[in-house]
Structure 1
Amino acid sequence: ATPSATRSFQSPPVSRLSIASFPDAKSPGACFPRSAKPWPPRSPTCPRASTSACSAALLCGNDQVFRHTLANREHTRLILPMVDEVLSEAGLVLSQLDALAFTAGPGSFTGIRIGFGVVQGLAFGADLPVIPVSSLETLAHTAIRKLAISAGTYVLPMLDARMDEVYWGLFEYNGTDLNRVSRDSLTPPEEVVSPFSERPHTVIGDGWNYADRIPLEPGAFNSALLPEARDVLTIALREANAGKACSVDQAQPVYLRNEITWKKRQRLRKVT
């Protein structure tokens, strides 16, 4: 079948694969295997590249296959073997997948391009739709799964964007779901704001390295937490059910920063 943005996924899917890599702020992804029945239901798969972590996850019914490693600057070498591993363990091949979910950004140009390039190759080769997912929202979901966060807490994922800026977004956890409060943004640390400053906040990600410049007193913070591919799946299924799967030629990475500015920064780093 030809991928279509109007198709929808049914829950639970037969299986989903999520691949995520986070080298220096790169972009993750996820995949879902095709069911024997016509669409729906299908399942998504996702490749992810966006920090110093690289991971891949596959969900078959209620069972997950998961790979995760820390590897600076090796994501190009690791992502595809990880995809092969989780598919092999699940007894699936790429053509059986329903979709590819990927973290579209924000993050570094290099990282986003690596992740998106992998997804493009896989999606074009297997004729699969794709599901773009926010890197920051993925990190927020990882925090909900791994940290003791109470209902009513605001979760603030924040990544170091270099050039004296941070990527950040604000979410509210109600004890069951994570709801977006603000769009993903790129600002100086001083401009990270929350309209709910009197409520408890948990700040996550290496953007908290600018803590002395951020006008917010969090109840808790974890600057070492990295996003994981299994959390891409959670978001991807929701987006697919909302009809947000699309063909790979319609998908766009999310940079938030002008590419010319980024190239100037690279030249300055080489000079210094």
Structure 2
Amino acid sequence: MSCILNIETATPVCSVAVSSNGKIVFERENTEGPSHASLLGVFVADAMAEVRALGLTLDSVSVSCGPGSYTGLRIGVSEAKGLCYGLGIPMIAIKTPLVLTQKVIETEELEANTLLCPMIDARRMEVYAALYDKELKVVRDIAADIVESDSYAEYLSNSKVLFFGNGADKCDDCITDSNARFVKGMYPSARYMVRLSEEAYAAKQFVDSAYFEPFYLKDFVATTPKKNIF
């Protein structure tokens, strides 16, 4: 039995979702941002009111921890820390590329042997990217990449790769391999944190809310060849 508040603010989209035993019982999302400073507190207050109205007790807060926007992550993680400290409950941190990938798994029809490559925009042709299979197993962990025409060639030579996220939106003219596929307009959302946070809660994969820091884009250093940051 678990009731988890999920917070996603790593991109200009602000979203909150409450899950009870894996089922979403409350959700708010705004795609017109960035407006996290004015909206997140309201969304969380409404979420907590719904938790009380349903007779539930919040067991944990899960936050999307980047890489992503410095301001968005700071607001989201600060809110999560405050809630966890005030309520005396554990905090879960979910990497933003995993949230993006979970959304693709739940919403897109995927061909066999397709690799999934979430991309978080940084600047110019720089992105944070990772590669997963359809079971969310890590093929290549999160790295800071400068995208060029031959980027990800070692993966594209053996399988189809689906690129998505706000970083991928600027790369389709650069990556032209016949095995490359792109999904436009894909952004992370709190509702797609639910499965990930439920699994983390069951496994007691918590972070120290007093000292945890998200992964900020301000620390971005891209190299060629790729440089892992995790």
Equivalent residues of 1:207, 1:223 under 8 A apart: no
User: Runs in 1 of length 4+ with deviation above 6 angstroms?
Assistant: none
Distance 1:194 1:96 in 2: 48
* Structure 1 range deviating more: 136-145 or 69-78: 69-78
How does the TM-score come out when normalised to structure 2? Answer: 0.83
Q: Aligned to 1:212, what secondary structure does the other structure show?
A: coil
Distance 1:194 1:163 in 2: 20
5+ long unaligned stretches in structure 1: 1-12, 16-31, 33-44, 262-272
Given residue 121 of structure 1, which amino acid in structure 2 is its aligned partner?
G
* Structure 1 range deviating more: 184-193 or 51-60: 184-193
Structure 1 residues 74-97: Cα deviation after superposition (integer angstroms, max 9, x where no partner)? 11111121122233234359x931
Identical pairs, percent: 25
Q: How does 1:158-169 map to 2 (within 5 A)?
A: 158-169=119-130
Q: Aligned to 2:94, what secondary structure does the other structure show?
A: strand
> 2:18 matched to which residue of 1?
58
> 2:117 matched to which residue of 1?
156
> 1:211 matched to which residue of 2?
172
Which of 112, 119, 144 matches 1:186? 144
Question: Residues 166 and 90 (structure 1 numbering): CA distance in 2 closer, same or farther, change over 3 Å?
Answer: same
Aligned length: 216
- RMSD (CA atoms): 2.4
> 1:132 matched to which residue of 2?
93
Given residue 136 of structure 2, which amino acid in structure 1 is its aligned partner?
L
Deviation (angstroms), 1:239: 2.3
Q: Aligned to 1:254, what secondary structure does the other structure show?
A: coil
Q: Aligned to 1:178, what secondary structure does the other structure show?
A: coil
Which of 204, 225, 241 matches 2:186? 225
How does the TM-score come out when normalised to structure 1? Answer: 0.71
Distance 1:54 1:192 in 2: 31
Given residue 63 of structure 2, which amino acid in structure 1 is its aligned partner?
F
Q: Aligned to 1:106, what secondary structure does the other structure show?
A: coil
5+ long unaligned stretches in structure 2: 222-230
Q: Aligned to 2:188, what secondary structure does the other structure show?
A: coil
Q: State whether structure 2 residue 155 is matched by structure 1 residue 196.
A: yes
Distance 2:53 2:84 in 1: 16
> 2:205 matched to which residue of 1?
244
> 2:6 matched to which residue of 1?
46
Distance 1:246 1:229 in 2: 18
Question: Residues 217 and 77 (structure 1 numbering): CA distance in 2 closer, same or farther, change over 3 Å?
Answer: farther
Q: State whether structure 2 residue 79 is matched by structure 1 residue 118.
A: yes
Given residue 203 of structure 1, which amino acid in structure 2 is its aligned partner?
F
Distance 1:224 1:218 in 2: 20
